[in-house]
Structure 1
């Protein structure tokens, strides 16, 4: 029993993302809600998109670990980037964190007009799957 990430024939092949994830019955699925670049008090960590991006992924990692998973268990990421953010800084800071050995996870990214946290430039959410022995 294994989790499969695939890039089917007929779709663009990318080292950055897969198109399909198949999670077998019996696997534990973990959903991480939107994480911004905020510290434990809810304060935005920096006005910079790169720093906020790194913290948002770190917050997702903390949430995943609380459920017995890690970044390598993520099968799908959603990345929302505020329209005023430096796109290269925001996505560039986290691109390597979203990747993993073997087939990459699914990634959906969008540029948005605003986020729920004032001053936030990025928000990430994740779906992870773990096969427990």
Structure 2
């Protein structure tokens, strides 16, 4: 968990999401060695930006990779019914719904390069985000994460909505 009010500790800033290899054209303005997802998908934290274990700042997806967009997922079951009025439970289900969507096209949570997390302003922020933070961040290769508090969501009673962008190198 990130301690509020303290800067993030330094550390490597370009992360492998799978087998780490050096990119063909390393990007010079990064903190640490360049590592990649698959062969060419790279996540990095450039010099001059905060280093965080929870997110990266830049994702580079090469030509030929398949980009997958998962639209907003709420904490609803397969009938569209909210699973709970609890922010943490809704968060877990929203991410599970994103996983189901990714699985349908042969991808997974480890292929996500960017998450957008919308949290209702009346939700318990720590519960809503805390329930899924470790899943979104991943060890060693955090994707990009944008989070925002919003006045409302499209599904009545929904406290969270997540969307994702994934990238997969196909053979």
TM bin (shorter chain): over 0.9
Larger radius of gyration between Structure 1 and Structure 2: 2
Name the stretch that deviates more: 29-38 or 93-102.
93-102
Quote the residue 2:119 is aligned against: 81
Unpaired segments ≥5 residues, structure 2: 1-38
- Offset, 1:100: 1.9
Q: How many residues align?
A: 133
Unpaired segments ≥5 residues, structure 1: none
Quote the residue 1:132 is aligned against: 170
Normalized against structure 2, the TM-score is what? 0.77
CA deviations 1:20-60 (Å, max 9, x no partner) are: 00000100000000000000000000000000000000000
Greater percentage in strand: 1
Greater percentage in helix: 1
Q: From 41, 46, 51, give the equivalent of 2:79.
A: 41
Distance in 2, matches of 1:99 and 1:65, equals: 19
Quote the residue 1:116 is aligned against: 154
Distance in 1, matches of 2:139 and 2:105, equals: 21
1:27 aligns with 2:34: no
Distance in 2, matches of 1:90 and 1:2, equals: 33
1:96 aligns with 2:137: no
Normalized against structure 1, the TM-score is what? 0.98
Q: Tell me how large the CA RMSD over aligned residues is.
A: 0.7
Distance in 1, matches of 2:121 and 2:161, equals: 12
Distance in 2, matches of 1:44 and 1:56, equals: 10
